[in-house]
Amino acid sequence: MIERYTLPEMGALWSEEAKFRSWLRVEIEAARAMAQNRIIPREAFAVIERKAAFDVKRINEIEAEVNHDVIAFLTSVSEFVGEEAKYLHYGMTSSDMLDTALALRMKDAAEIIDRKITTALTLIKKLALKYKNTPCIGRTHGVLAEPTTAGLKFALWYTELNRGRERFTAAARTMAVGKISGAVGNFANLDPRIETAVCHRLGLKPAEVSTQVLQRDRHAAYITALALLASSLEKFATEIRNLQRTEIGEMAEGFTRKQKGSSAMPHKKNPITAERITGIARLLRGYAVSAMENIPLWHERDIAHSSVERVIIPDALIIIDYGLQKFIELLKGLTVNEKRMLENIYYGGGLVFSQRLLLRLTGPVGSRDTAYRLVQRNALKAVEGKGLFIDLVKKDKDIIGYLRISEIDSCFDLKYYTRNVAKIFKRVFGK
């Protein structure tokens, strides 16, 4: 991932240094377990544990000759350890180390992601409670529909993001496995106790069954959960982008004192963070497809997945980490224009109260279709600019023949649209 979108903590986890450090950790734990089970001399393990190290530059030099990154790594470590290095990687295959170390880093990355999801949920909940009863207009098909509340919008975000968290947590748990089972996963040269001991020390579970590699449905589920998470962030960001439109003006991203919105137009305040989140989600959905393509490997393994994962796994985690951080900043700086929300509700003289009027009129008229047409003809006139909806209705002799003016006025009361919000909030937040 490019430096622009790489935050320090997550970026460090996917550095070359961190990669080789995770490889070394797996090798040391494997040697420890083998020493404890008397497969290799305990004295040799003591030397390995004390001396094991690596040099990234040296690894790159060796790989240029042998064209095998694991052999290059092990050769570099051997130069530090000395004679006892012959007991490193004993009975293991490259993927025993690679897949276990990768799972370890993906587990660590999941903890970073979860912390940021938790922060975002806290901020959304705060917004939901603050604007719980703030009326705003709901829109369907991009057109004014009926009043709702801004708090309900945020409550919806909260429940969706919480599902995303649960989905990712489950995928991360499924991914947190290791394997030390040998060339085709049958433990021909190793005892399963070694795998169990190594995984226990690393905070992983041993895979129930493996081939030479861990099966890639785990990795695909993990990346897909990230893509779904990003898609939800995009959904929230798109709502903000739409509500920031000049003709709507109900919400907007924060805009700092020295910020500039356009190189050409000084008046511009553009929703650049929300738009960036949209782009990030597009990228992650592409990574999810690539991860699924990695599932069908040939027989007990091939390396068709390897080049893909070197790109998509670090990039997916780095970019979702960045996207979550931007979303958190977006929530912290979000402005809500309650005055504009109220103005939009009464656009056209309260067109959005048409259903309340329809329901009140249907009984006296005796026909829903007739009542619908009476209300609709006045609503369409208001849309065409021929008057305010409420005034047109009060002047319609066919309507006032059935309803008193006070009954008409009561149909334009916002209380109908907020009276059950507390019940919804109790289901979501318990209060």
Residue 265 has a pLDDT of 82
Coil, strand, or helix at residue 149? strand
Residue 254: band (very low, low, confident or very high) from pLDDT cuts 50, 70, 90? confident
Q: Is 76 a catalytic residue?
A: no
pLDDT digits (tens, 9 = 90+) for 37-57: 999 999 999 999 999 999 999
DSSP state of 96: H
User: In this structure, are strands 205-206 and 251-252 parallel, antiparallel, or unpaired?
Assistant: unpaired
pLDDT digits (tens, 9 = 90+) for 357-401: 999 999 999 999 999 999 999 999 999 999 999 999 999 999 999
Cβ neighbours of 310 (radius 10 Å) = 12
Residue 424 has a pLDDT of 95
Nearest to 160 by CA among 121, 111, 113, 119: 121
First to last CA, the chain: 42
Q: Of 15, 68, 262, 367, which is the active-site residue?
A: 262
Q: Is 262 a catalytic residue?
A: yes
Report the greatest alpha carbon distance in the chain: 103
Q: Tokens 């959904």 — which residue?
A: 235
Residue 280 has a pLDDT of 96
Is the predicted pLDDT of residue 261 greater than 90, yes or no? no
Q: Average pLDDT in the 288-297 region?
A: 96
Residue 70 has a pLDDT of 96
Mean of pLDDT over the chain: 95
> Could you tell me the pTM of the whole model?
0.93
pLDDT digits (tens, 9 = 90+) for 316-336: 999 999 999 999 999 999 999
pLDDT digits (tens, 9 = 90+) for 1-16: 789 999 999 999 999 9
Altogether, the residues listed in the chain come to a count of: 431
264 burial via Cβ count (<10 Å: 0-12, 13-18, 19+): exposed
> Under a CB-based contact definition with an 8 Å cutoff, are residues 392 and 332 in contact?
no
Q: Average pLDDT in the 184-194 region?
A: 94
Is the predicted pLDDT of residue 256 greater than 90, yes or no? no
Cβ neighbours of 18 (radius 10 Å) = 15
Lookup: tokens for 221:
């589920």
Residue 422: band (very low, low, confident or very high) from pLDDT cuts 50, 70, 90? very high
Nearest to 360 by CA among 350, 348, 374, 346: 374
Lookup: tokens for 421:
């919000």
Between the alpha carbon of residue 172 and those of residues 110, 113, 224, 257, the distances in Å are: 6, 10, 11, 41
> Under a CB-based contact definition with an 8 Å cutoff, are residues 223 and 243 in contact?
no
Nearest to 365 by CA among 314, 405, 390, 402: 402
pLDDT digits (tens, 9 = 90+) for 392-412: 999 999 999 999 999 999 999
Residue 257 has a pLDDT of 79
Those residues with Cβ within 8 angstroms of residue 365's Cβ, 6 or more apart along the chain or in another chain: 371, 374, 402
171 burial via Cβ count (<10 Å: 0-12, 13-18, 19+): buried
Residue 270 has a pLDDT of 87
> Under a CB-based contact definition with an 8 Å cutoff, are residues 182 and 190 in contact?
yes
Q: Of 141, 263, 299, 406, which is the active-site residue?
A: 141
Strands (E), 259-399: 335-336
Sign of the four-CA dihedral 320, 324, 330, 333: negative
pLDDT digits (tens, 9 = 90+) for 159-178: 999 999 999 999 999 999 99
Between the alpha carbon of residue 286 and those of residues 11, 105, 227, 280, the distances in Å are: 21, 22, 8, 10
